[in-house]
């Protein structure tokens, strides 16, 4: 069953990536957010990728979808990520 969940997560991750790739007007914002959310010294730890911390992701998922972290969605929906990036882009423009 775990491999089925992993497969669903991978498919959802690909969908999120495709949602971003298909919107060139969000590329700069997406790249900026990746590095903005990456923990300090991310390059010193495996997997050497600028990924946000697990606690931060859990917090964001709970605030987005509500509920108990153990029973909630483990990955955001593609349109939610696009909406978030649009919000970030627009917010950065007003600063």
The candidate with the shortest Cα–Cα distance to 65, out of 52, 78, 53, 76, is: 76
pLDDT at 54: 82
- Gap between the Cα atoms of 71 and 27, Å rounded: 31
CB atoms within 10 A of CB 78: 18
- Half-sphere exposure for 87 (CA within 13 Å, toward CB): 6
Tokens 């991750």 sit on residue: 13
pLDDT at 5: 53
pTM, 2 dp = 0.75
| pLDDT tens for each residue of 64-90 | 888 776 665 567 889 999 999 999 999
The candidate with the shortest Cα–Cα distance to 31, out of 74, 95, 77, 92, is: 92
Q: Does residue 37 contact residue 56 with C-beta atoms inside 8 Å?
A: yes
């Amino acid at each position: 069953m775990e491999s089925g969940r992993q497969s669903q997560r991978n498919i959802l991750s690909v969908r999120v990536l495709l949602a971003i790739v298909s919107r060139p007007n969000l590329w700069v914002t997406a790249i900026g957010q990746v590095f903005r959310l990456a923990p300090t010294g991310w390059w010193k730890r495996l997997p050497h990728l600028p990924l946000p911390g697990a606690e931060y992701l859990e917090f964001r998922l709970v605030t987005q979808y509500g509920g108990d972290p153990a029973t909630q969605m483990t990955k955001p929906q593609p349109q939610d990520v696009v909406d978030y990036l649009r919000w970030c882009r627009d917010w950065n423009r007003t600063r």
